[in-house]
Homo-oligomer: A and B are copies of this chain.
């Protein structure tokens, strides 16, 4: 077992970064360790609370990558720390991540998560919001229990880091929600980078390596190197996520393909395309992006249209009357939803502007710089599978298909 085995005596630098299949094996091991830990944190006794605790395990047990805990463990171990020391904090991160996902899915009204329906689509918004809150509540005690195993000082540093993480994530989320609310689509590249840094990179990359370093009782210089690595790679990861939303297959990717366009998300790709289209196209695109995504309400017009046709057939309604009702229904009576043509129009803008290639190259440049940061600081790290995992991850993040 690579993740939790002691440092092999024979490991000596320089060794190659891990390749894809080794990365995946490392992730799988980390996932198993962390799931065991999460199962210890989530009570089995439901205490009459509906399925509160069952539902807390729903997202974690779906086919997740366990990237955050793996990165947390690898950072700790590459700095000489032990797996037992960091495992609880790594599991708490995964719990936070899944709580954030549940609330995110509510906020974006996403349909799919990890290849299945999102929690709120199955159980409703009220239960989903509460399950997320319950997971956040549950995460505090293990961080207090840390005192006994990693010492007071480090446990407090972790609590502080987790507090900052939650706050940064809410700020990043608030930035994006404010853009959506204002219907604004003129963000520059650096606005986008700042938003995803806060909303995603901070908790997905920067916090995991920071907690790993704290658990290894690391000094400032290696911690700084790790955080710089994580900042660069975290943004690259999110950009690649945006890319996969266009190029992936739903089976591998686990979310709805083109879902970002349907949801009207501020991705680097879409912002790039909007900067490279004509004013007329920009205007039409903004109109489309302001429309809701549709969803279940599309059930009604179909049934309704059928009724209208049957009334025309039996002579209770004239064709002119039908057209009038149709117009009321599609026009005034409720905000029109995005159509397949609308989304195809946006996709065509993206295609013509070469926005996917642009995003891909931006992700790769950042991943490359992340790798360099790590290599330059290699004297801080133990030659080990854990260091090689992090180096390999720099490439993996931008080459992955899920």
Contact = CB atoms under 8 A, between A and B. Distances in A.
Interface of A: 47-52, 103, 106-108, 123-127, 129-131, 133-134, 136-138, 140-141, 144, 147, 152, 156, 159-160, 162-164, 166-167, 169-175, 177-178, 180-181, 191, 194, 300, 303-304, 307-308, 311, 315-318, 320-321, 324-325, 328, 332-334
A174 B134 contact: yes
Given A47-B171, A321-B311, A127 B181 contact: yes
Given A311-B325, A318-B317, A174 B108 contact: no
Nearest to A139: B163
Given A136-B166, A333-B304, A173 B321 contact: no
Given A134-B167, A137-B166, A152-B152, A307 B325 contact: yes
Stoichiometry, copies per complex: 2
Contacts of A317: 311, 316-318, 321
A304 B328 CA distance: 8
B316 A50 contact: no
Nearest to A156: B144
A296 to B, nearest CB: 10
Contacts of A304: 328, 333
B129 A106 contact: yes
Nearest to A51: B178
Contact of A173 (B130, B141, B178, B332): B130
A178 B328 contact: no
Contact of A130 (B131, B174, B315): B174
A246 to B, nearest CB: 23
8 contacts: A49-B171, A49-B175, A50-B178, A126-B180, A129-B129, A133-B136, A147-B156, A316-B320
A126 B181 CA distance: 10
Closest 9 CB pairs of A and B: A50-B178, A316-B321, A137-B166, A134-B170, A140-B163, A107-B126, A52-B174, A49-B174, A49-B171
Contacts of A134: 166-167, 170-171, 174
A137 B49 contact: no
A137 B156 contact: no
B108 A52 contact: no
Contacts of A303: 328, 332-333
Contact of A170 (B130, B170, B311, B333): B130
B103 A130 contact: yes
Contacts of A137: 163, 166-167, 169-170
A106 B129 CA distance: 9
B166 A52 contact: no
A185 to B, nearest CB: 15
